[in-house]
């Protein structure tokens, strides 16, 4: 049985408090009106020692230029207002996706009757304990968006839709009630499967027959079918609809690759932490080796999908599709290209060697880099649509991560204390305990 160390509990609470203060600061420091933005813009022009577009100044008297400047300030105003919201959204989605990816990986382990991973089931179950919490937080966020507390989803704004034929054509799918109902269905069914699986494996510990194991096998297979459909739809709803003029066919799988690799990395990190504390003596370095192989393989899978999506659009260069990457290349060059290094080149070189994959500190280093890389991946998926060129990884962004990380750590390790760390009821448990590669 795991006991939640008071140190870790204090850490998670500290993260939550620091994060909350930072998020609050982010919301307070967002400009309150367009006039404030105009002052900001003027100040930045002054400090940079530039003269705002000569044409604009020369023709400042004419009403057209003033109007253009006003429109520009208003545009910037909306972007800056979105900034703390987007920061929070990226962090909420990132940790939710780790939990969801873990659930998918966990279901795959049941369905494929994997013999090695049984000793890690309780770790995975604990990580998925964040799913209901994160689901509620995300849903509240969507309700707030739908009630126009923020402008992340432009298609939720009736004024925008009224002037936009493209969004009007999509409004059969992209409308607020349907969006919320879909989100509720995904989250509820995922959480239902998670709670059912957890209940079943815990009940199986005390049983001698395999009835629960069989039920779990069937429900996991059904869940995977549901998951693959809803994961794709979730990525269209929650991420792709931020750019309602743009679409990509492989977007759902691309999001999935990011989700599964961060999930496996998190499983590895949590397992190494618990093993270091002496709670998982039945986990040996062959189990870690397998997790590291999955990290390596799915990092390459991510790069494959990232490149396929990028290259197909770059190659054909159809204006309506390519704007997506043009904004990312112009305004997000460092994170957009940097994440390819973090998520592909680095794991490729570090995790290729078989011996390195058995060394905990190597996996931890690679894992932290991979998680940072996939945070940036989500950041680059969401931010260009909501804050455009006004992005910055500053107080709002970092404290949003800290806030959600604190909640995540608290929920996960709290769930860890609720059941023994070895799921001893599984028929493959002996094989898993003696697993070596």
Partner 1 sequence: MSNKVVQAMYNDDDILMDAVKEVRAANYHIEEVYTPFPVHGLDKAMGLKGTRIAITAFMYGCVGLVFSVWMMNYMMIEQWPQDIGGKPSFAFIQNMPAFVPIMFEMTVFFAAHLMVITFYMRSRLWPFKEAENPDPRTTDDMFVMEVIVDGNEDELIAFLEKTGTVEIKVTEKH
Neighbours of 222 (CB within 10 A): 14
CB of 352 to partner 1, least distance (A): 7
The 76-115 contact track toward partner 1, x by CB under 8 A, reads ----------------------------------------
310 binds partner 1 (CB under 8 A): yes
Our finding on whether 352 is near partner 1 (CB under 8 A) is yes
The answer to the question of residue 307 lying near partner 1 (CB under 8 A) is yes
- Cβ atoms within 10 Å, residue 167: 19
Q: Which is nearer to partner 1, 166 or 352 (CB)?
A: 352
Stretch that binds partner 1, among 173-181, 259-267, 310-318, 382-390 (CB under 8 A): 310-318
Task: Give the span between the Cα atoms of 223 and 108, in whole angstroms.
Answer: 10
Instruction: Determine the Cα–Cα distance for residues 346 and 306; give it in Å rounded to an integer.
Output: 16
- Supply the minimum distance, in Å, between the C-beta of residue 311 and partner 1: 5
Of 54, 93, 66, 72, the residue nearest 400 (C-alpha): 93
Closest separation in Å from C-beta 341 to partner 1 = 15
In angstroms, give the least distance from the CB of 317 to partner 1.
Answer: 7
**Judged by CB under 8 A, which stretch of 21-29, 167-175, 240-248, 303-311 contacts partner 1?**
303-311
CA separation for the pair 41, 79 (Å, rounded) = 13
325 in contact with partner 1 (CB under 8 A) = no
- Composition of the chain by helix, strand, coil, percent to 5: 80, 0, 20
Binding mask 353-392 toward partner 1 (x if CB under 8 A, else -) reads -x--------------------------------------
306 versus 410: smaller Cβ distance to partner 1: 306
Query: Using the rule CB under 8 A, is 417 a contact of partner 1?
Result: no
Taking the complex as a whole, how short is the minimal distance between the CB of residue 307 and partner 1, in angstroms?
Answer: 7
- Using CB under 8 A, which of 177, 315, 319, 361 touches partner 1? 315
What would the two tokens of residue 429 be? 């448990």
CB-nearer residue toward partner 1: 71 or 352: 352
Contact between 330 and partner 1 per CB under 8 A: no
Tokens 């990395």 appear where?
265
CB of 315 to partner 1, least distance (A): 6
| Tokens (6 digits) for 78 | 């909306």
Cβ-based nearer residue to partner 1, 178 or 307: 307
Total residues contacting partner 1 (rule CB under 8 A)? 8
Distance between CA 227 and CA 220 in Å, rounded?
A: 10
Contact present, 125 and 197 (Cβ < 8 Å): yes
Does residue 317 interact with partner 1 by CB under 8 A? yes
Token representation of residue 134: 């994160």
User: How many H helices and E strands in the chain?
Assistant: 18, 0
Binds partner 1 by CB under 8 A, chosen from 66, 136, 311, 318: 311
Distance, CA of 266 to CA of 414 (rounded, Å): 16
**By CB under 8 A, is residue 5 in contact with partner 1?**
no
Please say which residue, 166 or 311, places its beta carbon nearer to partner 1.
Answer: 311
Q: Is 288 exposed, middle or buried (0-12, 13-18, 19+ CB in 10 A)?
A: buried
**Tokens in use for 273?**
């932490």
Provide the minimum distance between the beta carbon of 436 and partner 1 in the complex, in angstroms, as a whole number. Answer: 10
**Separation in Å, CA 40 to CA 58, 77, 137, 412:** 21, 10, 33, 42
* Cβ partners under 8 Å of residue 104, min gap 6: 224, 227, 231, 256, 259, 260, 263
When binding is defined by CB under 8 A, the residue of 27, 139, 196, 314 that contacts partner 1 is: 314
DSSP per position, 299-322: HHHHHHHHHHHHHHHHHH--HHHH
Q: In the complex, which residues of this chain contact partner 1 (CB under 8 A)?
A: 307, 310-311, 314-315, 317, 352, 354
């Amino acid at each position: 049985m795991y006991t939640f160390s008071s140190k870790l509990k204090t850490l998670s609470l500290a993260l939550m408090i620091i994060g909350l203060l930072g998020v609050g600061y982010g919301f307070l420091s967002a400009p309150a009106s367009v006039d404030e933005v105009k002052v900001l813009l003027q100040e930045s022009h002054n400090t940079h020692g530039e003269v705002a577009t000569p044409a604009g100044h020369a023709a400042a008297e004419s009403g057209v230029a003033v109007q253009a400047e006003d429109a520009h300030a208003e545009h910037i105003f909306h972007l800056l207002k979105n900034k703390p919201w987007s920061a929070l959204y990226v962090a909420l989605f990132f940790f939710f996706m780790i939990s969801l990816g873990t659930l998918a990986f966990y279901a795959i382990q049941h369905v494929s009757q994997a013999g090695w991973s049984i000793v890690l089931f309780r770790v995975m179950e604990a990580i998925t304990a964040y799913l209901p919490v994160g689901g509620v937080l995300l849903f509240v966020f969507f309700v707030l968006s739908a009630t126009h507390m923020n402008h992340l989803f432009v298609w939720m704004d009736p004024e925008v839709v009224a002037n936009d034929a493209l969004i009007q054509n999509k409004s059969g799918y992209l409308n607020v009630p349907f969006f919320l109902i879909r989100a509720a269905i995904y989250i509820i069914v995922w959480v239902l499967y998670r709670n059912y699986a957890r209940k079943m494996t815990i009940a199986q510990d005390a049983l001698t027959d395999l009835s629960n194991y069989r039920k779990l096998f069937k429900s996991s297979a059904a869940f995977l079918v549901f998951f693959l459909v809803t994961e794709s739809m979730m990525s269209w709803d929650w991420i792709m609809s931020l750019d309602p003029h743009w679409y990509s066919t492989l977007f759902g799988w691309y999001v999935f690759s990011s989700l599964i690799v961060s999930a496996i990395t998190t499983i590895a990190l949590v397992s190494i932490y618990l093993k270091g504390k002496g709670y998982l003596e039945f986990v040996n370095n062959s189990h870690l080796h397998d997790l590291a192989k999955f990290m390596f393989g799915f990092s390459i899978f991510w790069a494959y999908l990232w490149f396929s999506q990028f290259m197909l659009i770059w190659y054909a260069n159809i204006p309506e599709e390519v704007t997506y990457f043009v904004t990312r290349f112009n305004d997000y060059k460092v994170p957009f290209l940097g994440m390819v290094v973090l998520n592909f080149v680095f794991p490729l070189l570090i995790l290729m060697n078989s011996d390195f994959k058995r060394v905990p500190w190597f996996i931890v280093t690679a894992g932290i880099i991979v998680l940072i890389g996939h945070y940036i991946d989500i950041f680059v998926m969401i931010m260009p649509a909501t804050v455009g060129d006004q992005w910055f990884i500053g107080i709002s962004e970092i404290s949003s991560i800290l806030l959600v990380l604190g909640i995540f750590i608290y929920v996960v390790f709290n769930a860890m204390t609720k059941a023994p760390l070895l799921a001893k009821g599984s028929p493959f448990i002996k094989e898993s305990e003696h697993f070596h590669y």
